[in-house]
Amino acid sequence: MQRIVDGIAYEGKTLDDCFDVRVWECNGHREISARPVVEWTELGPAPDWSHLADDAKRAEWAAADEAERKEKNALRNARRAKTMCRRFIKANGFNELATLTYRENQTDERRAKEDARRWFRRMGDLIPGFGYCAGYEPQKRGAWHVHAAIHRLPAHVDVKKRMPNGDWKTFKVEGWRLGTMVWRAIVGKDNGMCFIGGKGPGAKKARNSLAKMAAYVAKYITKHYEMVPEGKQRYSHSQGVAVPDSVVERLVRMSLRDLISMCFWCEDGERVVDHRIGRFKDSYYLCTEAEPPGLWSLAV
């Protein structure tokens, strides 16, 4: 592979026996990833073919290069945000899914994010310690909806309501009903739903594992990365536990088989959530989590 940086050409060579291993641990979760090291060699000044083209063609080349740069940056930023979103959910122990939807074909992304922000704020007013991490997705029909990882809602929540005579009365509302009640107060009566536990088979499977839930919410960040303007936030979250950095170690003179044997780490009381070799057979990823007794199924 080759690349040009500031007019200088470089050639990259993937080292088959040298890997950078990253280990991230927090709150009973562990992520281990290993990728081969790429060694770059400077080749010298890159050939300049611009004198062979007219101004229009040079402008066309420059525009194509800029478009490619933006595309790569957008994907790189989306992947970074996806990782941070997933780890924020794990670090803060969000163990419930909530999906906010519109009945109308609401296609305004800005409005969807503002409505979600108001929902998160009102839920926080009603439930002490309420936290969240959310991703946003357009449906096939164009309407936006929100996927959020939250703390499991209490069975009942006390809600105050002003009566016709001006007095305030407290009502007990079931936790799973509260989300829709608050959401409809924002988007309009019968104009939307809040599905606690998520919506669809993918969400139901994710509920069996906090790590799977984190991956489920985070995947929407890269799913539509090209729709997010450069510099705009790709997900939102409440204040919470700071996400620690990964620890990086370089392993040399090692085959992929030996690398996997060394990196596989799952202690008693933990379970494997994800365990795979990259599609090019040169990288490895392992995700484990502590087994919460009595909270989730033992099935991986």
In a domain, 272, yes or no: no
Q: Where are the alpha helices (DSSP H) in the chain?
A: 55-92, 109-126, 175-187, 201-206, 210-223, 256-263
In a domain, 219, yes or no: yes
In a domain, 270, yes or no: no
How many domains does the chain divide into? 1
Q: Which residue has the tokens 């959530």?
A: 273
Strand pairing category for 29-45 and 284-290: antiparallel
**pLDDT tens series, the chain, 300 aa:** 888 888 899 999 999 999 999 999 999 999 999 999 999 999 999 887 777 778 888 788 788 888 888 888 888 888 999 999 999 999 999 999 999 999 999 999 899 999 999 999 999 999 999 999 998 888 888 899 999 999 999 999 998 888 888 888 888 999 999 999 999 999 999 999 999 986 666 666 666 789 999 999 888 877 766 666 666 677 899 998 889 999 999 999 999 999 999 999 999 999 999 999 999 999 999 999 998 765 444 333
Q: First and final CA of the chain: distance in angstroms?
A: 38
In a domain, 61, yes or no: no
CB < 8 Å & 24+ apart, contacts of 172-178: 178/123, 178/126, 178/153
Q: How many residues does the chain have?
A: 300
In a domain, 227, yes or no: yes
Say if CB 295 and CB 95 are below 8 A apart.
Answer: yes
In a domain, 193, yes or no: yes
In a domain, 282, yes or no: no
270: Cα within 13 Å, side-chain hemisphere: 19
In a domain, 87, yes or no: no
User: Phi, psi (5° rounding) for residue 42?
Assistant: -75, 130
Report how far residue 129's alpha carbon sits from residue 285's, in angstroms, rounded to the nearest whole number: 33
Q: Which domain holds residue 206?
A: 96-237
